[in-house]
């Protein structure tokens, strides 16, 4: 793998001293080795596979700063708190920090090894200027929870699509002797299309690709029809009651659903809370801690909850509503049974005709309509956008420009020359001709995949393994069960 035995022994000793484990797993060792050698990497590792150590360990072994681009404030703070408890020089920058705290982070950048930051904060002018300081050595850019780029990068968090230009732009501000900057992306889920998109969007150069199977033999997967909204609640209540004393999670699709279900369950004398992005950070932190310490046996949450949180004794995950995509589903069920003890995942779905309850179909259609609306707005804006321009200037003139540029980039009709300067290409003058904004098909395909999973009659794990590129393992699994 490139390193000598004595070099790896030194790495292993530091790993043992800081984290207390005997040795890294084979897949972790491959990624750590590639990053220590300055090679780009793409790690698709099952939930609970120890992804964070793969970039934290090289960061503390190398001189210079490693940027960790993370989607959620709570996730950043969790990891930084853990690193600081191990006396490691880590910090995070986000919009909720006070000016005094921000100045302290800036002052200590030269001595910081890991800086956690969101894409939006990274590309804000004050932060970018600090990172471009010629004297600041930057050796790595790590994209944590990289599936967010694929799922959110065009319409919800368009800053993600500008990340591929970050390395070269930083490099242009550094002296010639500055070490190479490695880029790595880490996620639990990526099918072949998502893998190709990550490599392309991040401009990964000959990356080390590591993929581990999401299969968990101790995690049973079930789907049940809830014939009416009242029936869905009744099934939920029975499922929870049958598992008293066991830790779990209930996933819903919206903030309002989380609040309403939590209120209803509390009225049934069950101790729980709703967790979603609309809550103040301090309240989210408190709910998370109460769940981690079993003061709440379960919480009702939207998809953001659970990213980067490790509670090995989670025994069940209940999907009150089906997720829109298989990637979301894999992420969310992966939070159960990390201790390799028996665990359950149950998804409740509306009956197939939709005559008694059309809720699931309405949620999927609402999502598609919202995406279509954004794309139509982007098409309408397209003739007004300069073919070459500065992001900040264009965003001042057109509030929807960020989404339009993100969609163009995903469709292959825009190049980011720097994280701030773009060029529209391969596009004719008429916006009606630019149906290369064809992402509607991608959304529909993802929803169709989920519907196929819901209806599957055979082995559910085999279906998931086939969809995520582990066909041989799916075949062996089916053979072992026949």
Q: Which of 131 and 372 is assigned the larger pLDDT? A: 131
CA 153 to chain centre: 11
- Res 266 pLDDT > 60: yes
> How do residues 2-27 score in pLDDT, each as one tens digit?
555 568 888 989 999 999 888 899 99
Nearest alpha carbon to residue 436 among 419, 470, 413, 458: 413
Q: Is the pLDDT of residue 431 over 80?
A: no
Q: Is the pLDDT of residue 54 over 80?
A: yes
Examine the pLDDT at 439 and tell me if it is beyond 50.
Answer: no
CB burial of residue 436 (10 Å; 0-12, 13-18, 19+): middle
Are 307 and 456 within one domain?
Answer: yes
Q: Find the CATH number of the domain harbouring 281.
A: 3.40.50.300
Q: Residue 428 sits in which domain range? A: 360-437
For 299-341, write each residue's pLDDT tens digit.
999 987 766 677 889 999 999 999 988 988 998 999 999 899 9
Asked if 142 and 31 touch (Cβ cutoff 8 Å), the reply is: no
Q: Kindly state the average pLDDT of the residues 119-148.
A: 94
What is the distance between the alpha carbons of residues 124 and 105, in angstroms, rounded to a whole number?
A: 15
Nearest to 182 by CA among 61, 35, 69: 35
Same domain for 382 and 462? Answer: no
Q: Are residues 260 and 310 in the same domain?
A: yes
Banded pLDDT at 216 (limits 50, 70, 90): very high
Number of domains comprising the chain = 3
End position of a domain, from candidates 211, 228, 260: 211
State which of 211, 233, 256 marks the end of a domain. 211
Q: Could you report how far apart the first and last alpha carbons of the chain are, in Å?
A: 39
Average per-residue pLDDT in the chain?
89
Distance between CA atoms of residues 8 and 476, nearest Å? 34
CA count, 13 A, side-chain hemisphere, 143: 32
- When pLDDT is cut at 50, 70 and 90, the band that residue 430 belongs to is very low
- Is residue 236's pLDDT more than 90? yes
Whole-angstrom distance, CA of residue 481 vs CA of residue 461: 12
Q: What is the pLDDT of residues 333-384, one digit of tens each?
A: 999 998 999 999 999 999 876 666 788 888 888 888 888 888 788 878 888 8
CA distances from 424 to 119, 311, 416, 469 (A): 22, 45, 9, 33
Mean pLDDT of 51-72: 94
433 pLDDT above the threshold of 60? no
Q: Which long-range contacts (CB under 8 A, 24 or more apart) does 191-194 make?
A: 191/327, 191/467, 191/468, 191/469, 192/469, 194/147, 194/150, 194/327
- How does residue 435 score in pLDDT terms, banded at 50, 70 and 90? very low
Q: What is the gyration radius of the CA atoms in the chain, in angstroms?
A: 23
199/425 Cα distance (integer angstroms): 20
Angle between helices 229-241 and 255-267 (to 10 degrees): 60
Helix 73-85 vs helix 51-61: angle between axes, to the nearest 10 degrees? 50
Does residue 292 sit in the same domain as residue 187?
A: no
Q: E strand or H helix at 92, and its extent?
A: strand 90-93
DSSP 149: H
Distance CA 128, CA 417 (A): 16
Lowest mean pLDDT among 26-30, 358-362, 412-416, 465-469: 358-362
Instruction: Report d(CA 336, CA 330) in Å as an integer.
Output: 11
Cα(118)–Cα(429) distance, integer angstroms: 35
Confidence of residue 247 (pLDDT cuts 50, 70, 90): very high
Q: Are residues 299 and 371 in the same domain?
A: no
What average pLDDT does the segment 232-245 reach? 95
Same-domain check for residues 82 and 166 = yes
Q: Which run of H or of E encompasses 66?
A: strand 65-69
* Residue 333 and residue 234 in one domain: yes
Same-domain check for residues 412 and 477: no
Rounded-to-5 percentages of helix, strand, coil across the chain = 50, 15, 35
Least confident of 256-265, 285-294, 342-351, 438-447: 438-447
pLDDT at residue 134 in the model = 93
Share of the chain above pLDDT 90, in %: 61
The pLDDT of 98-124, averaged and rounded, is 95
Phi and psi, residue 422, nearest 5°: -125, 165
Last residue of a domain, one of 401, 418, 437: 437
- Could you tell me if 476 and 458 lie in one domain? yes
Given a cut of 60, whether residue 389 has pLDDT beyond it is yes
Does residue 59 have a pLDDT over 50?
Answer: yes
Q: What span, in angstroms and rounded, lies between the C-alpha atoms of 197 and 129? A: 29
Statement to judge: residues 409 and 460 lie in one domain: no
Question: In the predicted model, is pLDDT for residue 264 greater than 70?
Answer: yes
The pLDDT assigned to 377 comes to: 82
Residues 429 and 317 placed together within one structural domain of the fold: no
13 sits in which H/E element: helix 5-19
pTM value surpassing 0.75: yes
Q: Mean pLDDT over residues 115-121, rounded? A: 96
The helix (H) or strand (E) run that includes residue 389 is strand 388-390
Same domain for 176 and 45: yes
Rounded CA-CA distance 246/282 in Å is 26
């Amino acid at each position: 793998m490139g390193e000598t035995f004595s070099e790896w022994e030194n790495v292993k000793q530091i790993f043992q001293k800081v984290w207390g484990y005997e040795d890294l797993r084979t897949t972790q060792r491959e990624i750590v080795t590639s990053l220590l050698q300055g090679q780009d990497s793409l790690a698709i590792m099952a939930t609970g596979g120890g992804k964070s150590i793969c970039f934290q360990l090289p960061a503390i072994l190398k001189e210079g700063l490693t940027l960790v681009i993370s989607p959620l404030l709570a996730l950043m703070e969790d990891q930084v708190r853990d690193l600081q408890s191990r006396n490691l020089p880590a910090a995070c920058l986000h919009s909720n920090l006070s000016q005094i705290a921000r100045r302290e982070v800036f002052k200590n950048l030269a001595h910081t090894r890991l800086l956690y930051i969101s894409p939006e904060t990274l590309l804000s002018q004050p932060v970018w200027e600090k990172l471009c300081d010629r004297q600041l050595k930057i050796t790595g850019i790590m994209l944590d929870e990289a599936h967010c780029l694929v799922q959110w990068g065009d319409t919800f968090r368009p800053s993600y699509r500008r990340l591929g230009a970050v390395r070269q732009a930083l490099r242009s501000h550094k002296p010639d002797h500055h070490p190479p900057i490695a880029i790595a992306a880490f996620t639990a889920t990526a099918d072949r299309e998502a893998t190709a998109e990550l490599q392309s969007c991040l401009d990964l150069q000959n990356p080390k690709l590591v993929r581990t199977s999401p299969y968990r033999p101790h995690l049973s997967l079930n789907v049940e029809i809830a014939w009416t909204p009242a029936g869905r609640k009744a099934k939920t209540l029975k499922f929870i009651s049958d598992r008293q004393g066991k830790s779990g999670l209930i996933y819903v699709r919206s903030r309002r659903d989380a609040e309403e279900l939590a209120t209803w369950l509390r009225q049934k004398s069950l101790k729980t809370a709703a967790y979603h992005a609309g809550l103040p950070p301090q309240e989210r932190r408190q709910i998370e801690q109460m769940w981690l310490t079993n003061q709440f046996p379960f919480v009702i949450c939207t998809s953001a909850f659970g990213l980067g949180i490790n509670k090995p004794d989670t025994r069940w995950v209940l999907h009150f509503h089906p997720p829109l995509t298989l990637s979301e589903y894999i992420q969310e069920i992966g939070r159960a049974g990390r201790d390799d003890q028996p665990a359950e995942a149950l998804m409740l779905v509306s009956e197939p005709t939709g005559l008694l309850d059309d809720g699931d179909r309405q949620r999927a259609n609402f999502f598609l309509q919202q995406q279509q609306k954004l794309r139509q707005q982007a098409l309408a804006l397209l003739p007004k956008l300069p073919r070459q321009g500065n992001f900040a200037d264009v965003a001042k003139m057109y509030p929807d420009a960020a989404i339009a540029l993100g969609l163009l980039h995903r469709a292959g009709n825009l190049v980011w020359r720097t994280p701030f300067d773009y060029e529209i290409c391969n596009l004719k003058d008429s916006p009606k001709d630019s149906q290369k904004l064809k992402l509607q098909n991608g959304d529909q395909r993802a929803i169709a995949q989920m519907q196929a999973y819901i209806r599957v009659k055979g082995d559910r794990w085999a279906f998931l393994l086939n969809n995520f590129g582990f066909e041989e393992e799916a075949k062996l699994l089916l053979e072992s069960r026949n």
